[in-house]
């Protein structure tokens, strides 16, 4: 049997981190009383017009630059029409013809065979990034056969990031999304918390045989975590392979991932191919962006966005941060990955290194093995750690000065974890964990032990 080649592409919607919405001045906030963050424009009342939020454009430009895209100096807005209760206007304002950024790339790393020591770098092409509106939220009340609609989310700015089908499995997709999440959080353009709907991922999956054209693809939606993303994609790949090997066909349909059952099911309300009747948004002129060369003289700075100005102020991206950590502290690349993977862990590590004489190469072991495993066991974030960087540095100094053994140090660490406010030195004294440095004292103890075990000594000496 010829091997199947799975093909995976992603459409990612990231909510822009801004105070107000994309085209109106109502607030962006998770969890507020229903319909309290809704302006007349968001509710699509007649006579209202869209007004573009500058911050949203900057967020999209930053993201485009971070993903190595070409920024389109002229981009356009369009209307995408469809009917749904949470889309009061009957259309979404998006960028279908000419989006704000195109042709980028994202590099991400994978562990081979689950071994962190063997990492491989992969790249996925970014087709485009476009600005668009989010829709409201529908709460389905099946018992009363009705849908409750909350428009608080309607009109919130989104960046849709389209990744080309360069991935081949759930693991690759998950790693790519994780890296994108870290980049967005580093830029601050989106907080990208999947659990709060700030990052939504739809996967496009198909399979084919080598040398043959791509197979029919399905779209998988309703994926709520990175873990489920990998599961959903791998399930769908298997489902398609089984279907085709049994002589069936794949329908070009939209399927929802059921996390409880771990499978994908066809979605209702998605009959056939949708005709969105795209048309230019008549109320918005083209969006023009400038760079240092094209910047017109005598302009109102508030009305102008300079791509070069934004580029100069981009923070270090995760890949750069990792390189710097490896270079500066002599730690391994896989260590830098773990450091950046936990919010605040890299900062904690650097803080400890500053406060201790122990070499970073040794400190990293304490951070990644001891601290991190305790945090995971107790489901705590780095910020919630009962052991501060100060206390840990203090403990490591005692170890470094050989005042305690490493076994004793682990004991002290366990005690510190209780968060009772004692210092490492206090714990060492309390539990009598000091290493004896005095040669004479050591001899006395050894002699006492030997004296107490006379019989065993007599048996050993001839041997």
Partner 1 sequence: QKVSVEVLDHLEHLALVDFRDSEGVERLQKAIQFADQLHEVNTDGMEPMDSVLEDRCLYLREDDVTEGNCTKELLENAREKVEEYFVAPPGNIPLPKLEERETFLQGS
Q: Is 338 helix (H, G, I), strand (E, B) or coil?
A: helix
Report how far residue 280's alpha carbon sits from residue 282's, in angstroms, rounded to the nearest whole number.
Answer: 6
Report in angstroms how near the CB of residue 288 gets to partner 1 at its nearest: 7
Report how far residue 270's alpha carbon sits from residue 281's, in angstroms, rounded to the nearest whole number.
Answer: 25
Report in angstroms how near the CB of residue 292 gets to partner 1 at its nearest: 19
Distance of CA 175 to the CA centre of its chain: 9
51, 160, 162, 255, 308 from 226: Cα distances, Å: 34, 17, 17, 17, 33
The β-bridge relationship of strands 279-280 and 101-112 is unpaired
**How many degrees, rounded to 5, is the angle at CA 287 between CA 65 and CA 63?**
20
Q: Which of 77/349 has CB closer to partner 1?
A: 77
Report in angstroms how near the CB of residue 151 gets to partner 1 at its nearest: 7
Of 70, 315, 100, the residue nearest 188 (C-alpha): 315
Q: Which of 64/318 has CB closer to partner 1?
A: 64
Q: Which of 84/337 has CB closer to partner 1?
A: 84
Contact at 8 Å (CB) between 100 and 72?
yes
Kindly state the tokens that stand for 395: 């403990």
**How many degrees, rounded to 5, is the angle at CA 440 between CA 438 and CA 443?**
110
Distance of CA 9 to the CA centre of its chain: 18
Residues written for the chain = 463
User: Where does this chain bind partner 1 (CB under 8 A)?
Assistant: 18-20, 24-27, 33-41, 43, 45, 51-57, 76, 81, 83-85, 138-142, 145-151, 268-269, 271, 275, 277, 280, 282, 284-288, 302-303, 305
Q: Mention every residue, 6+ apart, whose C-beta is less than 8 A from residue 14.
A: 63, 158, 159, 160, 161, 180, 184, 189, 190, 192, 198, 199
Report in angstroms how near the CB of residue 264 gets to partner 1 at its nearest: 20
Kindly state the tokens that stand for 274: 């949708």
Q: Which of 11/86 has CB closer to partner 1?
A: 86
Q: Which of 268/293 has CB closer to partner 1?
A: 268
Q: Which of 148/460 has CB closer to partner 1?
A: 148
Q: Which of 38/187 has CB closer to partner 1?
A: 38
DSSP, res 295:
P
Report in angstroms how near the CB of residue 309 gets to partner 1 at its nearest: 14
Report in angstroms how near the CB of residue 142 gets to partner 1 at its nearest: 7
Report in angstroms how near the CB of residue 237 gets to partner 1 at its nearest: 29
* Paired strand residues for 409: none
Report in angstroms how near the CB of residue 138 gets to partner 1 at its nearest: 7
Q: Which of 37/175 has CB closer to partner 1?
A: 37
């Amino acid at each position: 049997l010829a091997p199947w080649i799975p093909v995976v592409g992603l459409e990612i919607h990231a909510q822009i981190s801004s105070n107000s919405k994309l085209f109106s001045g109502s607030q962006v906030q998770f969890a507020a009383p229903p319909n309290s963050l809704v302006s007349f424009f968001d509710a699509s009342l007649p006579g209202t017009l869209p007004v573009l939020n500058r911050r949203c454009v900057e967020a999209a430009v930053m993201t485009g630059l971070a993903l190595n895209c070409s920024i389109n100096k002229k981009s356009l807005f369009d209307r995408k029409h469809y009917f749904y209760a949470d889309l009061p206007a009957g259309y979404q304002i998006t960028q279908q013809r000419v989006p704000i950024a195109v042709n980028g790339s994202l590099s991400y790393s994978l562990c081979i065979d689950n071994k962190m020591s063997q990492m491989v770098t992969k790249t996925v092409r970014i087709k485009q990034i476009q600005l668009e509106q989010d829709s409201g939220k529908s709460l389905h009340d099946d018992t009363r056969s009705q849908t409750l609609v909350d428009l608080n989310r309607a009109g919130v700015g989104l960046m849709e990031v389209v990744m080309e089908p360069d991935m081949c499995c759930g693991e690759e997709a998950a790693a790519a999304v994780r890296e994108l999440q870290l980049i967005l959080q580093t830029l601050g353009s989106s907080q990208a918390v999947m659990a709060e709907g700030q990052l939504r991922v739809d996967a496009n999956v198909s399979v084919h045989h080598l040398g043959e054209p791509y197979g029919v693809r399905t779209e998988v939606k309703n994926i709520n975590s990175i873990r489920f993303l990998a599961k959903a994609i791998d399930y769908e790949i298997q489902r398609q392979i089984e279907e085709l090997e049994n002589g069936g066909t794949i329908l070009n349909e939209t399927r929802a991932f059921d996390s409880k059952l771990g499978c994908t099911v066809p979605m209702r309300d998605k009959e056939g191919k949708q005709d969105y009747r795209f048309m230019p948004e008549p109320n918005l002129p083209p969006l023009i962006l400038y760079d240092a060369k094209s910047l017109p003289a005598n302009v109102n700075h508030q009305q102008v966005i300079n791509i070069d100005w934004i580029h100069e102020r981009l923070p270090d991206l995760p890949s750069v941060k990792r390189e710097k950590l490896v270079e500066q502290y002599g730690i391994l690349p896989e260590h830098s990955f773990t450091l950046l993977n936990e919010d605040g862990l890299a900062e904690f590590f650097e803080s400890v290194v500053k406060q201790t004489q122990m070499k970073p190469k040794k400190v990293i072991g304490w951070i990644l093995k001891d601290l991190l495993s305790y945090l995971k066991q107790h489901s705590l974030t780095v910020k919630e750690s009962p052991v501060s960087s100060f206390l840990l540095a203090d403990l490591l100094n005692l170890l470094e000065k050989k005042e305690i053994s490493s076994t004793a140090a682990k004991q002290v660490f366990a005690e510190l974890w209780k968060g009772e406010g004692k210092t490492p030195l206090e714990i060492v004294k309390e539990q009598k964990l000091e290493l004896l440095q005095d040669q004479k004292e050591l001899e006395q103890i050894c002699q006492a032990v030997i004296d107490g075990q006379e019989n065993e000594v007599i048996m050993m000496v001839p041997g």
